[in-house]
Amino acid sequence: MNIGVPKERRPFEYRVGLPPAGVEILTQHGHTVYIEHDAGVGAGFSDQEFEKAGARIAYAVEEVFGRSDLILKVARPLQEELDWIQPGAAVAGFLHLASTRQDRMDVLLAKKITAIAWEQVSLADGSLPVLRPLSQIGGLMTAQIAARLLQNNWGGKGILLGGIPGVPPAEVAILGAGAAGLHAARGFLGLGAHVTLLDIDMTALQKAAELFPTAITMIASRRNIDRVCHYADVVVGAVLVPGGRTPVIVPRTTIKTMKPRTLIIDLSIDQGGCFETSRPTLHDQPTYVDEGILHYCVPNIPGVVGRTSTHAFFNAAMPYILELADHGIEKTISSNPAIAAAVNTHNGEMRNLVRLTDAGGNDGME
């Protein structure tokens, strides 16, 4: 199979869809891998490393897209990238198509592109093996982001996250006890914050309580969400609905009751966001103020730790990439339910995807 790895073109996206180690495995299996010139620079991989692994370096992006049966990306394709993809080809990445613009979906369907969303690869127990390491990275980064944004010079309350003797630590509320929420809790607790975790799943809360005995756990009822938002210094949204838009669980009416300069970090913004006041931002201007509340809503948080994120992604995704290459797109989709669950478009049809008519706010970054 011909496999293409283009350079990511979204702002502040430093990851690459395949590291040299992956190229080596694929070429040893007889596949041809085209890497766009400097595609791996952000993650610390040179063209020479890719060539040594067996890749062919392409200096024209059109060559990467034009020659490839399978495109390995990280972020959702931009309009120009959709134009370059050949009809009937496949593209795999963290696509988050539930929140993309309809005209982007129209191109995927019209060109009969097979879109495989890594974030939806799902095992029988409901776990998301490819998304998990990126959620872990995003969750861990949340604590260091919050520590900085609580400073006065970033518009925060002027609170030291962990406090000191005689001065209490910051109050942190995390909405969602999945992979991102648990790793956010780990980061915050490690820095000394007081953490409350909320979820609708008692099994998830039981796991959280066993992992973090000093954290408070609560059912994510309307009353409890309103309660923690009223007193928290940091509120983290870590809600996920695979293949669908994230539900808004914190309305504007609740946000209006929050204390001025409270910090909201919406890890769910990739799928539309779980706060009514959320809108996507970029790493160079990551925050804005709405209703007197500081918002941080960057969709690709792991994108700025490109090397770690690329290695973590590769560890999780390589078995699925190899299966797609060795057995072909059609056979793999029909035989592997984990990958079949991740197919968003195929043969001009939409699959495993729930979209809203107003979806598409995230593509405003383009």
Report, at the CATH architecture level, how domain 2-127+306-365 is classified.
3-Layer(aba) Sandwich (3.40)
How many residues are recorded in the chain?
Answer: 366
Residue 356: per-residue pLDDT: 56
pTM: 0.91
Homologous superfamily of the 131-303 domain (CATH): NAD(P)-binding Rossmann-like Domain (3.40.50.720)
Residue 359: per-residue pLDDT: 42
- Could you tell me which residues are beta bridge partners of residue 236? 174, 265
The identity of residue 155, as a single letter, is G
**φ/ψ of residue 275, rounded to 5:** -110, 140
Show me where the domains of the chain are located. Answer: 2-127+306-365, 131-303
Q: What residues contact residue 160 under an 8 Å CB cut-off, 6+ apart?
A: 150, 167, 169, 170
Residue 122 tokens, joined: 């799902």
Question: What average pLDDT values come out for the chain (366 residues) when binned by 10 residues?
Answer: 97 96 98 98 98 97 96 95 96 91 94 97 95 96 97 96 97 97 98 98 97 98 97 96 89 97 96 95 96 96 96 97 98 97 96 65 42
Per CATH, 2-127+306-365 and 131-303 having the same topology is answered yes
Which entry of 31, 69, 96, 194 is annotated as an active-site residue? 96
Question: In 277-303, which positions are buried (b, 16+ CB within 10 angstroms) versus exposed (e)?
Answer: bbebbeeeebbeeebebbbbbbbbbbb
**φ/ψ of residue 71, rounded to 5:** -100, 125
125 carries an active-site annotation:
no
270 carries an active-site annotation:
yes
